[in-house]
Amino acid sequence: MSEPTGWQFAVEIHPADWHFPAGKTWIAGWIWAGENQLATDLRAWVDGRPVLGLHGLPRPGLDERFLQRPGPPYAGFVIQLEPHRGARLLRLEARDPSGHWNEFFRTAITVDEGAPTATAPAPLGSRLAELVPELLRLQTQRPGQHLAALADEVVSAALAEPLNSLPNPPFHGALEEPRDTGWLRYGRLSVTGWLAHRTAKIKRVTALADAVQESALLHGLPRADIGSVFADLPGREHSQFGGHVDLPVNQSSPALLKIFAELENGEKHLVFAQRFTPRVIAGAEVPLPPLSQLTFARAVWALYRAARRHALPAGELAALLAAVRAAWRHYRAEAPARPRRHRPDAAPPTPSTDSGPLRVLLATHNLNFEGAPWFIFELARHLIAQPGVTVRVVSPQEGPMRKVFADAGMPVEVLDLRAAFGAETPAALARALESASRPIDWAGVDLVLASTMVSFWAVQLAKGAGKPSVLYVHESSAIRRFFGPLVPPALFPVIEDAFRSATRVVFTADATRQVFEYLGDRGNFRLLPSWVDVARIDAFAAAHDQAALRRKHGLDPDAVLFVNIGSVCERKGQHIFIRAIELLKEELRFTYPGRKLQFVMVGAREGTYIDALKQDVALHGLDQAVFLPETGEIFDFYRLADIFVCTSFEESFPRVLLESAAFRLPIITTNVNGIPEMLAKDEAWLIPPGDRYQLGDAMKQALAAHFAGDTSRAGRARTAVLRRFHQDHSLPSHLALVREAAGPRRR
């Protein structure tokens, strides 16, 4: 038969004449999908039974022949098969990046009479609670495909037998994370374990969870417990490894993690292979479709029909019905509500004629140079510019924004909320908040203004003191998902109560409001536009020379600068930025010979994330990537930039995009949450989060436009931002809302 166009392969190891003996047998070979394609997974079918293989294994000499360099991607594969008695057909399939399986080889087989008979798989009912949401998410991800084909894919994946691998002597070790489930935070999989070699020194440990992105893991970390099992194993005291691996957004399930050990003599060995089911705990996830009994019923029926096609028994009727009910409960708990016509928002507050005194207690979740503290500072600065308004600031954390607030005439006090954040019950939280708030002079407070839902505690304090409150929400993650790693589930109702108890809850993006719509039954939610200080930006741009600012910060005055501004953390996705830089490294060098490029990330802070990013930069020789610390001089970096890049997995209404548009910068950004409400596709390059390939394509397009002198996108973005988010239009509405929430007061 003919393989898919452009694919080359060879099955080099197999039983003679394709006659399988009883027991396990290895087949092995290589597959090359072509210059612009990838094989992202591999499986065999023995009659109707699928078996997953290990693909993407190094083949020295062959990889260089296809790539003109060492891999990845790697071409080798192995599969372990144990065909049942009477099996007649073997097929091999490879998965492409779009998720489709392509058959590339088939042959008739015979099996020894001593082989076992085929075993019956577990019935559909035992798997349904997992398969229904998987099918529904796949339907969201690929809306153009027939539901029956998607159901076949889900059922065949559930039936497939995985192949895992552990180290063989002289290697010894254990993979501790992931196991059957891999937890993902913003597209990254945590990997931990230990590994040692009896006779050689391990030079490097790397990991792959897709075809091309090989990540270095930290190895040689202290490990104290191995000696109790392997007392004579060299290197046992420093055998720990750990790190993160990026997973592509369209990763198949179950995914395959491969870990390689490189010895000082240059040999590279596969030491671990682990199949796992990815589960997102933070970051972008393919959503379930809106809650619908019809959608659910169609999915269940499609799975039932697919199970019959794959000879998967349905099981006892009672067990099957119980599984359907369990699957419905899961779907109902996780699915977004059906789109409905919202009752119209209350009209934006009319500018108030009230000029009486107003004493505001502002609670910010921290005092770092971050978007939310800058947002609330600008609002507070506008408030104190009004006659009779004063603002005092409280925060549970110290930080450089203290000086910014203080210099503007707003005194700052740091509250000790450690006991509150460590509380296990609502009662313990209430006691801790009461104790921490004793320094507050409530008689001198007319209104509590809380910034971000992390400051839910301030709303509870206001409620206890009988004061009105306004809660500004910038997070676009559901409460139980956002706070899950931070507080006990017993405190979730307390956080939800803050949304209902606040006099007003303010959102700057409708996408964010929709996340919390179920808490808005009191009619206290408001949607108000954010703002940008255009006059200040234009004055700054006119007064500062781009080259001089680059020299000030140690950047190349003659390079084209891609600038990514935001706290360097997983949520902001700088690891995807680095992956895109790696993808483009050689192509841009040949496309623009002699042109200098720099990729600047502003907002670095100490921690394991920045350490991992720097390790990746060093590993791949990305000398053009630059990390700079968090700073209060953020306008410098808009002015010195040529192209602005936002790689966030979650955002509400990021001010960095408003400001970069006002600075006339071409913008590349993820299209998450409220960002599409801010910029249209003809005003910026909008890409999905976590997709380094689309990010790389957008960066190439923006660079080509830059060299061509095409500023059309940037011009349209600035025009749109000035029309809709000019501070002269937005800030008066926020002031009016604050006065409305404060209500009438004695003078």
Looking at the domain assignment, is residue 352 inside a domain? no
Percent of the chain with pLDDT over 70: 95
CA 238 to chain centre: 31
Return the structure tokens found at 176: 């501790």
Task: Name the pairing type of β-strands 447-451 and 41-46.
Answer: unpaired
pLDDT digits (tens, 9 = 90+) for 709-747: 999 999 999 999 999 999 998 999 999 999 999 987 544
Q: Is the peptide bond before 732 cis (omega within 30 degrees of 0)?
A: no
Question: Are 495 and 599 in a shared domain?
Answer: no
Domain ends where: 74, 93, 119?
A: 119
**What are the backbone angles phi and psi of residue 214, rounded to the nearest 5°?**
-95, 125
Q: Which letter, b or e, does each residue of 316-355 get, where b requires 16 or more Cβ atoms within 10 Å of its Cβ?
A: eeeebeebbeebbebbeeebeeeeeeeeeeeebbeebebe
3-class secondary-structure state, position 424: coil
Q: Predicted confidence band at 2 (pLDDT cuts at 50, 70, 90)? A: very low
What is the rounded CA–CA span in Å between residue 233 and residue 198? 6
The owner of tokens 């007392």 is 231
Q: Are residues 108 and 131 in the same domain?
A: no
Averaged pLDDT, 334-359: 62
Per-residue pLDDT of 24-47, as tens digits, reads 999 999 999 877 778 889 999 999
Q: What is the pLDDT of residue 211?
A: 82
Q: Which residue has the higher pLDDT, 372 or 561?
A: 561
In this structure, are 539 and 668 located in the same domain?
Answer: yes
Alpha-carbon distance 452 to 656, whole Å?
A: 17
Domain for residue 455, yes or no? Answer: yes
Task: List CB contacts of 393: < 8 A, sequence separation 6 or more.
Answer: 362, 363, 364, 380, 405, 410, 411, 412, 413
Of the ranges 113-122, 220-229, 638-647, which is most confident? 638-647
Provide the pLDDT confidence category of residue 341 given band limits of 50, 70 and 90: very low
Q: pLDDT value at position 347?
A: 56
Helix (H) or strand (E) holding 527: strand 525-527
pLDDT at 331: 84
Helix (H, G, I), strand (E, B) or coil at 275: strand
Q: Which residues pair with 523 in a beta bridge?
A: none
> What is the pLDDT averaged over residues 369-385?
93
What is the pLDDT, as a whole number, of residue 129?
86
Task: Please determine, for residue 349, whether its predicted confidence score (pLDDT) is greater than 70.
Answer: no
Examine the pLDDT at 493 and tell me if it is beyond 70.
Answer: yes
Specify if 59 maps to a domain.
Answer: yes
Closest Cα to residue 240, out of 177, 164, 181, 326? 177
- Does residue 607 sit within a domain? yes
Domain end point (choices 71, 89, 119): 119
Question: Would the pLDDT of 367 be above 50?
Answer: yes
**Which tokens sit at 677?**
């409400």
Q: What angle do CA 504, 506, 508 make, to 5 degrees?
A: 165
Report pLDDT for 484: 78
- Mean pLDDT across 611-615: 86
pLDDT digits (tens, 9 = 90+) for 95-128: 888 778 899 999 999 999 999 998 888 898 888 8
Q: Which is it for strands 667-670 and 643-646: parallel, antiparallel or unpaired?
A: parallel
Residue 104: per-residue pLDDT: 93
Domain count, the chain: 4
Residue 350 belongs to some domain of the structure: no
Residue 390 and residue 318 share a domain: no
Sign of the Cα pseudo-torsion (42, 47, 50, 53, in order): negative
Please tell me the predicted confidence (pLDDT) of residue 732: 94
Residue range(s) defining the domain that contains residue 408: 358-531+730-742
Q: Are residues 252 and 309 in the same domain?
A: yes
Please state the rounded mean pLDDT for residues 665-684: 94
Contact 78, 270 (CB under 8 A): no
Across 347-375, average pLDDT: 82
735 C-beta neighbours (distance < 10 Å), count: 21
Per the domain annotation, does 351 fall within a domain?
A: no
Q: How far apart are CA 39 and CA 41, in angstroms?
A: 6
Q: What is the pLDDT of residue 344?
A: 44
- CATH value at residue 254: 2.60.40.650
**Is the predicted pLDDT of residue 77 greater than 90, yes or no?**
yes
Question: Both 379 and 325 in a single domain?
Answer: no
Q: What distances in angstroms separate CA 742 from CA 148, 467, 471, 473, one per listed residue?
A: 57, 8, 13, 18
**Per-residue model confidence (pLDDT) at position 352:** 58
Domain identity same for 391 and 508: yes
Do 551 and 508 share a domain, yes or no? no
pLDDT 10s digits, 269-326? 999 999 998 888 777 677 788 889 999 999 999 999 999 999 888 888 999 999 999 9
Contacts of 501 (CB under 8 A, 6+ apart): 459, 460, 463, 469
Q: How confident is the model at residue 508 (pLDDT cuts 50, 70, 90)?
A: very high
The answer to whether residues 176 and 306 belong to one domain is: yes
Residues 267 and 371 in one domain: no
Last residue of a domain, one of 312, 339, 366: 339
- Are both 580 and 712 inside the same structural domain? yes
Compute the average pLDDT of residues 213-234. 88
Q: What is the pTM of this model?
A: 0.76
Residue 673 belongs to a domain: yes
pLDDT digits (tens, 9 = 90+) for 460-481: 999 999 999 999 999 888 887 7
Domain membership of residue 344 (yes or no) is no
**Per residue in 54-70, pLDDT tens?**
999 999 889 888 888 88
pLDDT in tens, 153-182: 999 999 999 999 999 999 999 999 999 888
Q: What pLDDT, on the 0 to 100 scale, is given for residue 1?
A: 38
pLDDT of residue 345: 54
666 and 589 within one domain: yes
Domain harbouring 617, CATH code = 3.40.50.2000
User: Residue 572 — very low, low, confident or very high, per pLDDT cuts 50/70/90?
Assistant: very high
pLDDT at 355: 64
Whole-number mean pLDDT of the chain? 90
Euclidean distance between CA atoms 168 and 197, whole angstroms: 10
| pLDDT value of position 517 | 86
